[in-house]
Structure 1
Amino acid sequence: MSAQGAELEAALQEAIESVARQGDIVRSLKADAKDGKADKAAVDAAIEALKQLKVVQEQKQKAYEKATGKSGVQSRESFRANVVNALERKLFVIPSFKIYGSVAGFYDYGPPGCAIKSNVTQAWRQHFVLEEGMLEVECPAVTPEIVLKASGHVERFTDFMVTDVKTGDCHRADHLLEAALEAVFEGRTTPPAGEEERRAARDLHARVGELGVAELGAALTRYGVAAPETGNELSTPFPFNLMFKTSIGPKGDLTGYLRPETAQGIFVNFKDLLYYNGNKLPFAAAQIGNSYRNEISPRSGLLRVREFTQAEIEHFCHPEDKRHPKFGSVASLAPLLYSRALQMGEEKRALPMPLGEAVAGGVIANETLAYFIGRTHLFCERIGLDPARVRFRQHLRHEMAHYAEDCWDCEVHCSHGWIECAGLADRSAYDLRAHTAMSKVELSAYETFAEAREVDTLTVLPNKKALGQAFKGEAKAVTAALEALCEEGALAVKAALEAGGPATLEAGGKTYSLPPGSVDIRKERKRLTGRSFTPAVIEPSFGIGRLLYCLFEHSFYWRAGSDKRSVFRFSPLAAPVKATVFPLLARAELNATAARVSAALTRAGLANAVDTTGNTIGKRYARTDELGVPFAVTVDYTSLEDGTATLRERDSTAQVRVPLDELPALLRELTDLRRTWADVAAQYPAQAAPAEEE
């Protein structure tokens, strides 16, 4: 690249980073506005500044393209198109049901895609399940409705949908509104909108995800949003549950759903898993499997699909002790952390911070959550993601569920921006309590005190005779509700009754008025040697498909000097094929030697392929580079004489001469990341590359 091109590229990169920083400023100001710490004028000014920075970025992009004659790696859409083209052309992924026109949100993995997915999944199992001694389970994808009622999915797992009133076609309301708003502020409406209208559209576009159903409907009407393609009127928005509903059994009288996540199977098995673990805490359980979400209008290719693989961990621990025995092994790691303070501060960018320092300073809530952040950072690096493009973003206060103690997303940067690929949350004891309440099965653990304790306990004794007279057939439900009261609720009932008036009690969706004498609530001092408690849960949850797509982008590049030779720079650990074996020429004696080398590699558990075509060695190298194969073994007539072969490394194209009987063990060590290419190059003699490789 010329000096001018390099200068323009640097200027473009600076503009891109400025847009990203300003976008974070807008996001933090909106959070402040919700808390009453910023006004609308400040938000509007930040949005206008973001708009101007985007104009500057576009100008610099055009200048770069004009000077260099190419879009370069800075054009996200062009880069993404090249990656997707390579993935489909080499059968990593294929749109499902292609010969029937495909169905949005479904993809098939082809041979190399299956292999790399299997490798990444197995690396996850090794890194977490095996190394941490976790209990792995496999639960059905079809889940009874009552389980998902307890977890809240039946009631709350929704997006807003609209339909074409004439054709009945379904569309996701927020996506349609976003497209309409983009047309307004980008000047694509007729006539073009004025400056004030464009500013209002930009402001609304930035908070579409926060709109309720009434606000969303009003905005669709205000901007005249019609059904795509037909232009027909749209219905008012309504909530659409994203779960796939099904019937269980031949009569269809038991409602079920395809699970939207794998976590619930672990929670409902907690009691048995605790017993299997000798009733000892802490312990972790894991599950890898497919989840299903009936997305209204899937977008972003592999990043938002209707069927996907999740790998989830539920780490159960004492709610008052969230230390981790292995925290010291990650305390000095310094991943990029994007804490609340950094998101709300001036700089608006993630910074490296030692995890020990983050826990000590209260940035991360506890050791166990920080431990899994560290392990996730190491896993991302191990499978080949660029550490400079992996960060951990802490949820802002308004983003967290009311029961959550702390939440962080592992985000990976790709052409779609920062993508959440894993979520790490301290969910307190919410899930086990929810399933206890619904199932009436106590999901708790027991701790024995080192020394007996004198404690004040609250005793709730319902007067069943009085309740029976007052509530007849509903007395049983009222009694159960009284016995399930938390201490705060019980004391409120006690205070109301002692004041002489009836006490209010919620049970089964109804409100009951308890008369005096219906329950005896008192505190007693008891000597306890132990107690039952509901464990807290730390949950790391990974989207395998999202990790894979980001890995595809991070690994993709063009071989220098040729726009026709694409390469995937896969880590040997993740690569679908570890080595190819080539006879230099299509000769029987060389083919036989290549077959023996391949068989030896297979016995060592190394996926490999033999290419005996008559193509030049350079073309065969290029073909396997497109699949991301990290190593190539070439046998020639010298191999027949001295029992050695050429071993080529994909990215450097460097070659060394290695004895055939040492190849399987050597490649095994390279694939397991126990040796580096630098080690190999220092041990074995270099081999000159063929002319087409130079």
Structure 2
Amino acid sequence: MDRDSLVAAVARQGALVRELKKNGGAAKDITAAVVILNDLKAQLNALAVEAVGPVLNKKALEDLLVRKMFVVPSFEIYGGVAGFYDFGPPGAALKGNLLNAWRRHFLMEDDVLEIECTNIMPEVVLKTSGHVDRFTDLMAKCTKSGECYRADKLVEDFIENLLAKNGSTMSSEQQEKHRLVATKAESLSPEEMHAVIQEYGILSPGHGAPLSFPMPFNLMFKCHIGPEGSHVGYLRPETAQGIFLNFRRLLEYNAGKIPFGCAQIGNAFRNEIAPRNGLVRVREFQQAEIEWFVHPEDKSHAKFDLVGDQLLTLFPKNLQLTTGKTIQLSVREAVKQKIIANESLAYYLARTSSFVKSIGIDMERVRFRQHLDTEMAHYACDCWDLEILLSSGWVECAGHADRSCYDLQVHAAKSKVEMVGTLKYDAPRAVELVNIKLNKGKIGKSFKSDMAIVNKGLEALSVDGKAALSFEAALAATGSATLKVDGREFLFTRDMWSATKVTKMMSEEKFMPSVIEPSFGVGRILTAVFEHTFYTREGDEKRGVMSFPPIIAPIKVAILPLSTAKEFTPVMQQLERELRSMGIQTKSDASSVAIGRKYARVDELGVPFGVTIDFETGTDKCVTVRERDSCAQMRIPLAKISSILKSLIEGTLTWKELSKTYPILEAKKEE
């Protein structure tokens, strides 16, 4: 079986396993499905890693990033803490330039609003959004060191090692029993998990000490607001919730017009059990998110025609389950064929593709993968991940989701604050509505202390006309119906509740908007930029180069006097003043090292252009300009150099175009 076929087979089998677990399938069936899945994964892993683009010297890159202080471990002098990193001067500048480019590309283009919300959120917000419950895993502590481990991973790793070492001496029944335990580990209760750990004699990996009783652990960082300590809060696990909470004010600020978008760039915090792969999985990370609010029945985009002919590399769910191959399709055709759910979602996929190309990502190593049905959240309509091929494999770097109206709906229901838009009709029209009548006295007497949860279910019916009519049909047919709320059931009788269709003449429509969400992991995007732009000079593997596009390069121009002679200083200072006054990041190197060494230094920092002041500058009033990647040089008058560099950096002039005016000098060996 070839790689593409294996990729599809793994996707199909993985979807089957998730479906079996979700629906409470028989243990025997789950075990058999997992055995097949593991075998397929083993076959896939046995094949050579996909060879796309140049081979990365990862050790050389990692050394450069730390040595030049792009990214360094936090708290390094105290031994560091996993999952935390600091950005040094070039890293901070690179990230700042990338985010400014992101703002120009997405926010300015579509007049998207931007807000900044607090990092700490009260518990009620994240309880309502589902994060408090959804971010919980069972943890076990090492009784010697106090180090915490994710319990299900301990069990899975232990059994995997056990089968690898002793599987050949076990019967198929014994192997099946062990695999079933590993398969069920993530769904075990604390008591069941403890029993498994005791049965297998699992000890802490670090010290070989006994483990504590497993306990639920929320991956969010918990804190207490105020001196009393009674007001629970959390460091936010995402930036999106702040936008949803401010929707009412944002809509008012936007004069009530929908569609509109709001963005937020900020830090999020997740107490990852096993941080890894540098900036890919960390405990504090930066997100750049947009929430684009649209009418739920009109998800067209006013600028769709501008991107309609753009080609995207798509990995739709049907191909993941069949051929395992991607396809190239125009944005317009993808929407027409209903591969991408709607124009707004497709628009942002296209804009994201253009953005990552502009910051130096190799588009041969980019694809948009659609979530399988078994992966999608229950409230989502369609989801696509921007995946970039890194040295560790395909990595999700940005998500694009049609989140429906879930977030606004749950916050409106909990807060009792209306979160709706208004669509004014050109002329009054007949509209069918669902009119609900409640017998509050009867309901209150029947459910008493459970009224809070019952009201939650009734509120859901009040905003979902189809569900209300379905509930009414059940009442009409049998005289009773069961209201299901959060896993509980409440029996309603005919005299408690009723719903009828009514027709009214309306001049406007109130609606709860759907949300299209592009969400970018800044650290992951930066990792892709590092890997895709790094290379070493041919024949000199020790000379690393970061080929950042000028738009994001932390330093745009290096001024490099050929000598430490005093007569070079006034020219260097004049150039610095001119370039910095234009907003161009500039670095000078007036040290006594050879010019080749100076070039090597700035190449490692990704500086796209170098300006050399030499002994002829004083007489011919010209300097030598060097382009980083080609090492080509040309002689340009001092009077014009600043404006030319500005044009090169902004992309209004190319190096090739410039060479028509100023010829390339004969190549010299850089020493």
TM over 0.5: yes
Paired amino acid for 1:253: S
Residue 136 (structure 1) aligns with: 114
Residue 13 (structure 2) aligns with: 29
Residue 14 (structure 1) aligns with: none
**C-alpha spacing 1:633/1:372, structure 2 compared with 1 (3 Å):** same
Contact 2:317 2:371 in 1 (8 A): yes
Residue 340 (structure 1) aligns with: 317
Q: Which moved more, 1:326-335 or 1:164-173?
A: 164-173
Q: Relative contact order: is structure 1 or structure 2 higher (C-alpha 8 Å, sep ≥ 6)?
A: 2
User: 1:388-438 CA deviation, whole Å, 9 max, x = no partner?
Assistant: 111110001100011110000001111111111100000111111011111
Superposition deviation, residue 600 in structure 1 = 1.0
SS at match of 1:577: coil
Q: Which moved more, 1:153-162 or 1:91-100?
A: 153-162
Distance in 2 (CA, whole Å) between partners of 1:397 and 1:156 is 19
User: 1:186-245 CA deviation, whole Å, 9 max, x = no partner?
Assistant: x5x3x67569889979x969x979942369778767875431122223346544211111
SS at match of 1:671: helix
The yes-or-no answer on 1:615 pairing with 2:593 is: yes
Residue 265 (structure 2) aligns with: 288
Any residues of structure 2 matched to 1:206-221 within 5 Å, and which?
211-213=186-188
Any residues of structure 2 matched to 1:433-582 within 5 Å, and which?
433-464=409-440, 466=442, 482=458, 485=461, 486-491=464-469, 494-495=472-473, 498=476, 501=479, 503-505=481-483, 513-514=491-492, 516-519=494-497, 521-582=499-560
Residue 256 (structure 1) aligns with: 233
Paired amino acid for 2:361: L
Gaps of 5+ in 2: 21-28
Residue 356 (structure 1) aligns with: 332
Contact 1:330 1:355 in 2 (8 A): yes
Superposition deviation, residue 572 in structure 1 = 1.1
Paired amino acid for 1:30: G
Contact 1:48 1:199 in 2 (8 A): no
The yes-or-no answer on 1:114 pairing with 2:88 is: no
Contact 1:174 1:208 in 2 (8 A): no
User: 1:516-539 CA deviation, whole Å, 9 max, x = no partner?
Assistant: 544454333322222211100000
Instruction: Find the partner of 1:643 among 605, 612, 621.
Output: 621
Number of equivalent positions: 658
**C-alpha spacing 1:614/1:212, structure 2 compared with 1 (3 Å):** same
User: 1:630-666 CA deviation, whole Å, 9 max, x = no partner?
Assistant: 1100011222122211110111100011122222222
Distance in 2 (CA, whole Å) between partners of 1:110 and 1:549 is 15
Distance in 2 (CA, whole Å) between partners of 1:192 and 1:521 is 62
Contact 2:7 2:320 in 1 (8 A): no
**C-alpha spacing 1:184/1:643, structure 2 compared with 1 (3 Å):** farther
Contact 2:14 2:37 in 1 (8 A): no
SS at match of 1:329: helix
Residue 103 (structure 1) aligns with: 81
Gaps of 5+ in 1: 1-16, 62-71
Distance in 1 (CA, whole Å) between partners of 2:499 and 2:101 is 55
The yes-or-no answer on 1:593 pairing with 2:568 is: no
Distance in 2 (CA, whole Å) between partners of 1:208 and 1:109 is 40
The yes-or-no answer on 1:692 pairing with 2:670 is: yes
Q: Which moved more, 1:19-28 or 1:583-592?
A: 19-28
Q: Which moved more, 1:516-525 or 1:451-460?
A: 516-525
The yes-or-no answer on 1:276 pairing with 2:244 is: no
Distance in 1 (CA, whole Å) between partners of 2:322 and 2:430 is 48
Contact 2:150 2:273 in 1 (8 A): yes
Distance in 2 (CA, whole Å) between partners of 1:479 and 1:377 is 45
Distance in 2 (CA, whole Å) between partners of 1:341 and 1:93 is 39
SS at match of 2:648: helix
**C-alpha spacing 1:219/1:391, structure 2 compared with 1 (3 Å):** farther
Distance in 1 (CA, whole Å) between partners of 2:639 and 2:174 is 70
The yes-or-no answer on 1:329 pairing with 2:310 is: no
Paired amino acid for 1:31: A
Residue 309 (structure 1) aligns with: 286
SS at match of 2:364: helix
Contact 2:156 2:185 in 1 (8 A): no
Q: Which moved more, 1:457-466 or 1:611-620?
A: 457-466
Superposition deviation, residue 502 in structure 1 = 5.2
**C-alpha spacing 1:339/1:469, structure 2 compared with 1 (3 Å):** closer
SS at match of 2:126: helix
Superposition deviation, residue 318 in structure 1 = 0.5
Residue 432 (structure 1) aligns with: 408
Superposition deviation, residue 484 in structure 1 = 5.5
Distance in 2 (CA, whole Å) between partners of 1:309 and 1:659 is 43
Q: Which moved more, 1:122-131 or 1:21-30?
A: 21-30
Residue 668 (structure 1) aligns with: 646
Distance in 1 (CA, whole Å) between partners of 2:102 and 2:172 is 49
**C-alpha spacing 1:404/1:512, structure 2 compared with 1 (3 Å):** closer
Contact 2:72 2:86 in 1 (8 A): yes
Contact 2:413 2:459 in 1 (8 A): no
Distance in 2 (CA, whole Å) between partners of 1:35 and 1:175 is 21
Distance in 1 (CA, whole Å) between partners of 2:185 and 2:54 is 33
Any residues of structure 2 matched to 1:43-58 within 5 Å, and which?
48=39, 51=42, 54-55=45-46, 57=48
**C-alpha spacing 1:548/1:208, structure 2 compared with 1 (3 Å):** farther
User: 1:103-159 CA deviation, whole Å, 9 max, x = no partner?
Assistant: 111000000000000010111011011111001000111111111111110111234
Q: Which moved more, 1:602-611 or 1:24-33?
A: 24-33
Contact 2:379 2:403 in 1 (8 A): yes
**C-alpha spacing 1:516/1:673, structure 2 compared with 1 (3 Å):** same
Distance in 1 (CA, whole Å) between partners of 2:622 and 2:373 is 62
Superposition deviation, residue 85 in structure 1 = 1.3
The TM-score normalised by the length of structure 1 is 0.86
